Amino acid sequence: MDNKTQEKADFTLANAYGGVEMVRADYKGQAFSKHVHEGYTIGVIEKGAQRFYRSGEIHTADTNSIILVNADDVHTGESASPGGWQYRAMYPLPEHFENISIDLYDGGKFAPYFSSSVINDPILTEQLRLLFNQVDNNASKLLTETILYALMLRLTLRHSSHRHVPKDLSGSKEKLIRVKDYLDFYPAEDISLKQLAIIAGLSQYHFIRQFKKMFDLAPHSYQIQARLKKAKTLLKAGVKPVMVASDCGFHDQSHFNRHFKKALGTSPSKFQKQAVLYKN
């Protein structure tokens, strides 16, 4: 049987903190190109091994190890074992961790930075599996949030650091961030390279080089990721995939489907059916 027919990814939104995205995946030959998530990726390898790029290096996560990818970190993913790999993962947003920091640090509001891409923490592994099991069994919001809070607390206290962001950015860096923000706010716009370079105050040549150096993605690749972020939001809201494709700036449905599957390992329609949004 072709490996492509054996790929499986089931998404859901946990009944906690307004809905935390989670996935159960079984991949044989799936290979994810460079992409980003608006939330953190915190996953347990249940079988096999996964190889992935993050923070400029290639990492391998074996069975029972935990993968950590920061929100908006560019990363990839592929099998590192002959039979593929199975994993469970959750994607809490930065604001979920910010709520933890408020409790921990007398009102200080910040999201953690995980410098390690792969960790081995048996207690955290069991906490994650307990959480996934409760979600599978439709546990109450109170129980789900209690388990989730405990494991995010452990992550913050034992495995996080705080990335120092200088208050006074150089002019070019500040303008590059402005370009990134523009692409995030207007993902569907058919903007030209020249227009983005003008916003950055750089030549087109230097803009492409500096943008990729700072964000690890070329401008057009980042635009696709921004469009996929918006697409996920619309799909969760119940907008039909064919409308999502046009609303997010994709040329057509097949173009949208191809990029969505490449980044998330499932189709837009299947993602929408599985991402059941719990009401507060």
Question: What's the confidence (pLDDT) of residue 165?
Answer: 45
**Within the chain, where are the H helices?**
94-104, 122-136, 141-159, 171-185, 193-200, 204-215, 219-236, 241-247, 253-264, 268-274
Question: What's the confidence (pLDDT) of residue 173?
Answer: 85
Is domain 3-159 given the CATH code 3.40.50.300 in the classification? no
Question: What's the confidence (pLDDT) of residue 209?
Answer: 86
Handedness of CA 117, 123, 125, 128 (dihedral sign): negative
Hey, which residues does 240 pair with through a beta bridge? none
Residue range(s) occupied by CATH 2.60.120.10 in the chain? 3-159
Give me the tens of pLDDT residue by residue for the chain, a chain 280 residues long. Answer: 455 557 888 998 887 887 899 999 999 989 998 999 999 999 999 999 999 999 999 999 999 999 999 999 999 999 999 999 999 999 999 999 888 888 777 767 788 999 999 999 999 999 999 999 988 888 778 888 889 989 998 999 899 986 544 444 456 788 899 999 999 999 999 898 889 989 998 888 888 889 988 999 989 999 999 999 999 999 988 999 999 999 999 988 999 999 998 888 889 998 988 775 443 4
Residue range(s) occupied by CATH 1.10.10.60 in the chain? 171-274
Question: What's the confidence (pLDDT) of residue 239?
Answer: 93
pTM of structure? 0.78
CATH code of the domain occupying 171-274: 1.10.10.60
Distance of alpha carbon 80 from alpha carbon 245, whole angstroms = 33
